[in-house]
Amino acid sequence: MGSLKAVLKHPDDFYPLLKLKMAAKKAEKQIPSEPHWGFSYSMLHKVSRSFALVIQQLHPELRDASRCFSAISADVVCIFYLVLRALDTVEDDTSIDADIKVPILIAFHKHIYDRDWHFACGTKEYKVLMDQFHHVATAFLELKKGYQEAIEDITMRMGAGMAKFIRKEVETVDDYDEYCHYVAGLVGLGLSKLFHASGTEILFPDSMSNSMGLFLQKTNIIRDYLEDINEIPKSRMFWPREIWSKYVNKLEDLKYEDNSEKAVQCLNDMVTNALIHIEDCLKYMSDLRDPAIFRFCAIPQWRMIEAHRAEPKINGNTNDDTTESPKSRSRREERNERLFYKLLNDNVEEHLPIVYTPIVGEPCQKYGSIFKRRQGLYISCKEKQG
């Protein structure tokens, strides 16, 4: 019902979404019949929040060693995603003792080469993924060596970073950025390397690749506040104390209705922090050359932008204060002029006074009603000579 409501609210998005769905359906028919690939793509749809559809619209598999790199493979990105999702499942399982969890995180990059390795953790679909991880390992071992090494490197660095934060709280904004770098920024770096290895894209600067991951991760952390704070047996939160302590004494206090105003203020602070990465994200996407890779990157990013546009919710309440600064609008215009004017055209009354400042904005809105002295020569139809 939510999806139908979203489509009705943005009917112009329907056709592109339909084309993407049809492309993914076509890709499904090209999935190899081997059990390990069937399992991998099946699990992708079950454990992916944002990426299953956009991964499958990438180019068909390129596992034939006789073929050179010419496009990024859906198979490569599918396995890359599942390996990191499995690693994330270990980190997220709060029932696992830290003394057991930390060594697994640190050594996870070695387990992906072991067809027999599995580890019981997680719930529902994530438990199935971990119980039958040998299918993912088998598929991983069929990828080209260059892809294997890139995935191993990112998995090793991410596992080490996750292990660090098992015993370390997110106190400062710098801690927050570091944690998000380990769990998402490294994904951006890894994908950029895979795109470059395929021969279709330039090698983007690490800072831009990192921002692509950080924006997605920070949006998810913000959006999942209520779910995470109520997690059983215990919650693990990644909101930096440096931000939330300005508004409440304990992070859990934000979920109570009595603190609605403070919750929205804190939420605005968190969203502002996430939007720092928007400029890099737009620049990154504008420089992509392969249409399939562009869709793969742009669709999840746009969903996150839409999440920030939605009414903020932190304790069940909503707030309509979505004011954006003139500086932010100016930067949006510089990076994506088409998006800027689309936003301005759809919300003239709301945004024009801010874009041009209140003094200039009102005359701009009423420009057509302002009398100006006559200038030039006017000839009516009646005075037209044959």
Q: Which residues are catalytic?
A: 179, 223, 236, 296
CB 354 within 8 A of CB 326: yes
CB 216 within 8 A of CB 302: no
CB 292 within 8 A of CB 57: yes
Q: Within 13 A of 140's CA, how many CA atoms are on the CB side? A: 26
The continuous run of DSSP H or E covering 154 comes out as: helix 145-166
**Mapping DSSP to helix (H, G, I), strand (E, B) and coil, where does residue 382 land?**
coil
**Mapping DSSP to helix (H, G, I), strand (E, B) and coil, where does residue 375 land?**
coil
Q: Which of 109, 204, 212 is nearest to 159 (CA)?
A: 109
Q: Please report, to the nearest 10 degrees, the dihedral formed by the alpha carbons of residues 8, 11, 13, 18 taken in order.
A: 80
Q: Which of 56, 62, 130 is nearest to 93 (CA)?
A: 130
Amino acid at 195: F
The token pair that represents 25 in the structure block:
């359906």
Dihedral (CA of 142, 209, 229, 313) sign? negative
Q: Which of 173, 183, 170 is nearest to 92 (CA)?
A: 183
CB atoms within 10 A of CB 55: 23
CB 87 within 8 A of CB 105: yes
